[in-house]
Amino acid sequence: MIALAEDTEAKVSACENAVGQSLTSQQSRPIRPLPEVMAAIESCASLPLEDAVTTPPEAYTSEEYYQWEVTNIFHREWQCVAHVSQIPKPGDFLNLDLLGEPLIVVRGKDESVRVLSRVCPHRGMDIMPPGFGHEGHGVAESRGSEPNCGHTRLFLCPYHAWTFELDGKLKACPEMQQARGFKRDDHGLMPFRTEIWRGFIFVNFDGQAAPLAERLSEMNVDFGDWHSEDMQVIIEREWDCPFNWKVLVENFMESYHHLGAHAKTLQPMMPARDTWNEQERDSYVRCHLPFKEALVAEWEAMEKAGGNPFGFPTIQSLADWKKKESGLFLIYPNFLTFVLPDRVVWYRVQPMGPHRMKLLTTMLVPKSTTEHPEFPEMLTRETKMLIDFHLEDMEMCTAIQRGMRSLGAQQGRLSHLEMSVWLMQRYLAARGRGSWPAQDRPAAPAQR
């Protein structure tokens, strides 16, 4: 664990207190029934950007709408659960609970990555239950500082000691010889459909989603330049978030708030006014955040003199224009990354209810960066940076959720710099029609 600077520690603990308080805050605003909420979203989504209004408060607060999202969005779409560098060797695994599903992401003896249910096929025990003082996971040993990462030869259910291979097949089960017709092959851990795209491991719960690689062929050309498949996760930090998942997605994808929330940090580097969105697409959103011209000139000079203007060494294979801006990508519904000329930052968003989500802020760099002699110092500095500016967002998102619950919540107007918020409305509305953006309506044009 990297030691944090004192001021950052103080801000983190203030944030944790605020999170605790927010989780108990009341819903005072009445919530309309689901069909009315869906109709209200559809009506926002049909306005042109110039007339756009904010998303109805119930989209962030209604239990009924959240359940609709789980069934019609999250179970049907691809959810990103890990990066390949987090389970580099056969037997390495990582656990997470996603939408109530206890999952293991594991690299098998055949090097394949699988996402398996942790629910034992015998009596439904979680084979690696978090908490309760269960003394470890049998044959598994923990890996690194993360309690949910480990290495093992096989999985052992702690209840009646059934064991499973890394691919989920039942290996052994004691005292089952009298169970008539029992066949071990029928009783493995349930596998979920998995696809690896650019090093990111995705899972699809209903097994029906179109292959990601097909849906993202256009994004692959652009995002592919960072070669995230060869990168390493170097920082992960978990946040308990007392707000709806869309509050975070919208906050991540619009840079209008640089003017307020990041007035001293990001705004001087990437002024809100210069940010812009590409044309609407069915599967993803792409925004550009150009750096201030004066800074670009300064950084180019610094780089010529052998410095690292962005914190880590610049990725030299990137096209020149990609060294002059930051970029945001959203793969619908909740895969978020921002790219810089030296790194990829990934936010793992795990919705937990209308008012809560878990977030993992994760940073990836090329392997060569981790071998740089000054890497430890760079890592300490950049960890602080990642936490500091995320704290600015935590403060905003926490307060926004309280606003959405209150009688005072109104539907405001959107700036053109909030095009991503409007695109999210168009995504939600399209899913409500059983379609995707730009498939059954003309695509919104690029802002440049």
For binding to ligand FES (CB under 6 A), which residues are involved?
A: 120, 122-123, 125, 157, 159-160, 162
116 binds, options Fe ion, ligand FES, none, Cβ within 5 to 8 A by partner type: none
375 binds, options Fe ion, ligand FES, none, Cβ within 5 to 8 A by partner type: none
125 binds, options ligand FES, Fe ion, none, Cβ within 5 to 8 A by partner type: ligand FES
Other C-beta atoms closer than 10 Å to the C-beta of 37 total 21
| In the block, residue with structure tokens 């500016």 | 389
- Residue window 344-363: x/- pattern of binding to Fe ion, with contact defined by CB under 5 A: --------------------
By beta-carbon proximity to ligand FES, the closer residue of 159 and 389 is: 159
By beta-carbon proximity to ligand FES, the closer residue of 81 and 157 is: 157
3-state secondary structure of 276: strand
By beta-carbon proximity to Fe ion, the closer residue of 250 and 393 is: 393
By beta-carbon proximity to ligand FES, the closer residue of 30 and 124 is: 124
CA distances from 292 to 271, 275, 288, 387 (A): 7, 11, 13, 23
162 binds, options Fe ion, ligand FES, none, Cβ within 5 to 8 A by partner type: ligand FES
- Provide the minimum distance between the beta carbon of 160 and ligand FES in the complex, in angstroms, as a whole number: 3
3-state secondary structure of 309: coil
By beta-carbon proximity to ligand FES, the closer residue of 120 and 261 is: 120
Is the peptide bond prior to 333 cis by the omega test (within 30 degrees of 0)?
yes
DSSP for residue 182: -
Give Cα 72 to chain centroid, integer Å: 19
393 binds, options Fe ion, ligand FES, none, Cβ within 5 to 8 A by partner type: Fe ion
- CB 362, CB 336: distance < 8 Å: no
69 binds, options ligand FES, Fe ion, none, Cβ within 5 to 8 A by partner type: none
- Provide the minimum distance between the beta carbon of 155 and ligand FES in the complex, in angstroms, as a whole number: 10
By beta-carbon proximity to Fe ion, the closer residue of 393 and 418 is: 393
- Provide the minimum distance between the beta carbon of 122 and ligand FES in the complex, in angstroms, as a whole number: 3
CA 407/CA 403 separation, integer angstroms: 8
3-state secondary structure of 333: coil
Q: How many CA within 13 A on the CB side of residue 362? A: 23
- Provide the minimum distance between the beta carbon of 127 and ligand FES in the complex, in angstroms, as a whole number: 7
Contacts with 40 (C-beta within 8 Å, 6 or more apart), sequence order: 32, 56, 58
- CB 247, CB 354: distance < 8 Å: no
Contacts (CB under 5 A) with Fe ion, residues 367-426: 393
Q: Using CB under 5 A as the criterion, which residues of the chain lie in contact with Fe ion when the complex forms?
A: 393
